Amino acid sequence: MVERQVVSVREWPRHAGPEGISARAAAASPTDVSGARAAAALGAWSPDRAPESFPYQEVLDHFVAVGRMYAGERVTAPLRAIAVRVPADSWPLPLWLPSTVDQHNSTYDGYLLTRLLLSVVDLDDERSVGGLLGGLVADTLLAEAAMLRSTPGRVCRARTAAVASVLGRLSSSDGAAPADDREFADHAGRLATAFLAGLGREQALVIGIALLPITRMHDEHMFFRCVQIFEMIYAYLCRRIELAGVALLRGEIVAAGEQLDRAIWWLGLSRPLYRVLTTMPRRSFEIIRVHSDGRSAVQSRHYRRIELLCAPRPAGPPAVGLPPVEPVGATLQEIFTSIVDSIGRTTVAPLVCRMADLDRAWRAMKRTHWGVTLKIIGDDRGTGGTSGAEYLKRAAEVPLFPALVDGAEWPR
């Protein structure tokens, strides 16, 4: 376990940018740093008022100024009091407030506000998924473009370009990027602003309030958003694999393949985001790891559920600290092997190709994750108590569909 080292806010770096604090933290007013503005706003608010009147911005400004782990008691005490009194139907407060006061007992889902994000997305509707994911990407792009504008250079340019490429795929707005860094920053900012302006009210609200980083580091803000995006991609992949299984049970081979095609396309959005993470200085990630102990990606329910939906997994020793994953029923591999002979191997050959493509894409993503981790933390232990990069290397070797490892030989 990584020992948490709490240091005074005064000891944080003063410069904004990679390995420094965020632009918003750098511009924070003294009352936002102290929490005085947030405390006054909370004191004037009552749970019997409409949720939309809640002083989100004042609270967010304090959290961004100092980091969630350093939020002042003058702010967290009233938040705790409100959290136990707010009505259950006062969306989004019951889904948001717990993450404002979980500084010392947070889970991975609490860190990312997963339940809040999922409350504004319909996983059966690609437009809804694209809106939420695009909004998270656009918000990340705004922050990176602002940093590029103020700190031109290779690292900020690479980050902005990678995030912009994801938004371009989601919005069909790819275009030639200006060569000048500041012009490119302005261009990227316009793309992000335009996308955010087209969101519905609820998604726009959630994207805004779901940025509750645990530190004031710019790199952690970027990391936080990237991991939120990964988690939503995993949630969507779970649904596509489930629907592929439903189609396969009906004998709808083409429809099952189409579901897997969509899963592969959305998984492809993770590649440029990993390029963003490779730009993170090792020192920055050391700070994130210290403060995020107990909030590890190994706890992701959706990540684990993807593999459980694809094929039975060998029983292993009970994992400590992992949240349970709901039962999945018959896996896609089990459904496939139960019907393949009755349908005919020639008929299912295209689906085998799609399953193999998904397996390759999934393991490629895991190898990329391993490579990024090796670059950033080396041989150190992972935040979830795993062996870190070595654990990820071994995990990347496990196929999604073990029965189809020799899929190139199908049909037989």
Using DSSP's 3-state secondary structure scheme, residue 102 falls into: coil
Question: Considering the domain boundaries, does residue 95 fall inside one?
Answer: yes
pLDDT at 212: 92
Of the listed ranges 169-173, 212-216, 371-375, the least confidently predicted one is 371-375
Which of 183, 212, 241 is the C-terminal boundary of a domain? 212
Measured CA to CA, the distance from residue 140 to residue 143 in angstroms comes to 5
Kindly state whether residues 27 and 172 are assigned to the same domain: no
Tell whether pTM > 0.75: yes
Assess whether pLDDT exceeds 50 at residue 397: yes
Measured CA to CA, the distance from residue 167 to residue 193 in angstroms comes to 11
Question: Considering the domain boundaries, does residue 323 fall inside one?
Answer: no
Kindly state whether residues 369 and 245 are assigned to the same domain: yes
Which of 186, 212, 238 is the C-terminal boundary of a domain? 212
Kindly state whether residues 267 and 222 are assigned to the same domain: yes
Kindly state whether residues 161 and 247 are assigned to the same domain: no
Kindly state whether residues 37 and 122 are assigned to the same domain: no
Pair 223, 277: CB distance under 8 Å:
yes
Query: What total of structural domains would you count in the chain?
Result: 3
Q: What is the mean pLDDT of residues 70-96?
A: 95
Kindly state whether residues 302 and 347 are assigned to the same domain: yes
Q: What is the pLDDT of residues 287-340, one digit of tens each?
A: 777 777 655 666 788 999 999 999 998 765 445 556 677 778 899 999 999 998
Element (H, E) at 31: helix 30-34
Kindly state whether residues 59 and 190 are assigned to the same domain: no
pLDDT at 6: 45
Q: What is the pLDDT of residues 232-246, one digit of tens each?
A: 999 999 999 999 999
pLDDT at 126: 95
Looking up residue 259, the CATH number of its domain turns out to be 1.20.58.480
- Find the domain containing 88 and state its range: 9-105
Q: Could you give phi then psi for residue 16, rounded to 5 degrees? A: -100, 140
Pair 92, 283: CB distance under 8 Å:
no
Kindly state whether residues 82 and 133 are assigned to the same domain: no
- Number of other residues whose CB lies within 10 A of the CB of residue 377: 17
Assess whether pLDDT exceeds 70 at residue 5: no
Kindly state whether residues 255 and 373 are assigned to the same domain: yes
Which of 212, 247, 263 is the C-terminal boundary of a domain? 212
pLDDT at 389: 62
Angle at the Cα of 293 from the Cα atoms of 291 and 298, rounded to 5 degrees: 130
Using DSSP's 3-state secondary structure scheme, residue 111 falls into: helix
Question: Considering the domain boundaries, does residue 56 fall inside one?
Answer: yes
Q: What is the mean pLDDT of residues 85-100?
A: 96
Kindly state whether residues 203 and 272 are assigned to the same domain: no
Of the listed ranges 1-15, 285-299, 363-377, the least confidently predicted one is 1-15
Confidence of residue 172 (pLDDT cuts 50, 70, 90): confident
Residue whose C-alpha is closest to residue 230's, from 261, 288, 279, 269:
269
Kindly state whether residues 55 and 187 are assigned to the same domain: no
Measured CA to CA, the distance from residue 113 to residue 91 in angstroms comes to 14
Kindly state whether residues 89 and 25 are assigned to the same domain: yes
pLDDT at 176: 76
